[in-house]
Amino acid sequence: MATAQELSNFLAEVERRAYRQTAYAVRDEHAALDIVQDAMLKLAEKYGARPATEFPMLFQRILQNTMRDFWRRQKVRNLWTSLLSSFGGHAAEDDDDHDPLDTMETGQRSEDEPEAQLERSQTIAIIERAIEKLPARQREAFLMRYWEDMDVAETAAAMGCSEGSVKTHCSRAVHALAATLQHYGFNQQGLKKPGAGS
Amino acid sequence: MNQQESTVKLVVQALDASVEDLDEDLVRRLAAARERAVSAMQPQWQAAGHAGVLHQLGHYVAHHRLMTSAAMLLGALLLGFIVTQHVIGQHQLEQGDAFLLGSELPPEAYLDKGFDTWLQQNAR
């Protein structure tokens, strides 16, 4: 059985990544924070008695379910909004209809920052945009498998699908990301575009 | 390193970097949320975690609130009934004793062979 300290350590380790992961999915920073808070509370209240080793998979599952609840609520809200007004329904559309460029944050960095910092920020922004652009299931699989470092079985359990599906989602996500990065002219050395300075 | 691996590495590097750049206020709010979550865990699981039976009971009550409430209500009613019956029975017993002691002996008492012996023993 996990102690409060173990739970705290686990949450401290994953909370930022969970926030980013959620923000990529829901494309709303306030909603992302609310979702992560909810997921943390649910994990503590309902699964606090489980061994700490189960926390990563349980937390991911709760996070995904909380995101789905958010989308369901958004769908209902959008339905009513679109019924009541043709100007509504800008909050969350289907993944395929959404253009990440519309919601892409600009000017996150100060103009006074050094050029290298700006380059890095732009690179991160391009990659984040590519991540956002992935279909939801591919993004979930990719982030859990490679960013959260979960194995295929854990990812499958958290996503509620087969291990084969996880492999397929991951493979497609990697191909899509590779194509996007190539389109922007990234090399394979790290976070620098070729010809983007030293 | 093939192209897939390098893509994964590049993306993960960028994602890690994006986490480092999170706004300070956001980081504080995440930490506050974490503390709330941990404190929400403590009364329910951590205290009970040291005693298996209490832990199981707490878990059961938390998940079967309606049934537990109904069982507690029934238990309270049953306890009330038993206590009432006990008090009434005690009162009736006392009244019967008083009546027997206060009234004259019935004729049957004189026909009981053991009554004389009992009377002599208790008279001492």
> Do the chains contact at B11 and A177, CB–CB below 8 Å?
yes
Residue B57 to residues A43, B52, B70: CA-CA distances in angstroms? 20, 9, 16
* Residue in A104, A123, A124 to test binding to B, most B beta-carbons within 10 Å: A124
> Do the chains contact at B34 and A40, CB–CB below 8 Å?
yes
Q: Across the interface, which of A147, A175, A178 has its CB nearest the CB of B12?
A: A147
> Do the chains contact at A33 and B15, CB–CB below 8 Å?
no
Identify the segments of chain B with pLDDT beneath 70. Answer: 1, 42-56, 59, 63, 123-124
Task: Give the pLDDT of residue B42.
Answer: 62
* Residue in A188, A189, A192, A193 to test binding to B, most B beta-carbons within 10 Å: A188
Question: With DSSP H G I counted as helix, E B as strand and the rest as coil, what are the percentages for chain A, rounded to 5?
Answer: 70, 0, 30
Task: Give the pLDDT of residue B117.
Answer: 82
Chain centroid offset of residue B39 CA: 22
Task: Give the pLDDT of residue A189.
Answer: 53
Taking CA atoms, what residue in A is nearest to B39? Answer: A4
- pLDDT tens for A97-151 read 444 334 444 444 444 556 777 777 888 888 888 999 899 999 999 999 999 989 9
Query: What string of pLDDT tens digits covers the 198 residues of chain A?
Result: 778 888 999 999 999 999 999 998 888 889 999 999 999 999 998 888 888 888 998 999 999 999 989 888 888 887 777 766 655 444 444 444 444 334 444 444 444 556 777 777 888 888 888 999 899 999 999 999 999 989 999 999 888 899 999 999 999 999 999 998 888 877 655 544 544 443
> Do the chains contact at A19 and B38, CB–CB below 8 Å?
no
Report the C-alpha gap between A127 and A191 in whole angstroms: 10
> Do the chains contact at B59 and A190, CB–CB below 8 Å?
no
The string of DSSP codes covering chain B is: --HHHHHHHHHHHHHHHHHHT--HHHHHHHHHHHHHHHHHHIIIIITGGGSHHHHHHHHHHHH-HHHHHHHHHHHHHHHHHHHHHHHHHHHHHHHHHHHHHHSPPPHHHHH-HHHHHHHHHHH-
Task: Give the pLDDT of residue A34.
Answer: 94
Report the C-alpha gap between A16 and A38 in whole angstroms: 14
Tell which residue, B34, B46, B53, has the closest CA to residue A3.
B46
Task: Give the pLDDT of residue A94.
Answer: 45
Q: Residue B36: its chain A contacts at CB < 8 A? A: 37, 40-41
Task: Give the pLDDT of residue B90.
Answer: 82
Tokens of B98: 């008083």
Taking CA atoms, what residue in A is nearest to B4? Answer: A174
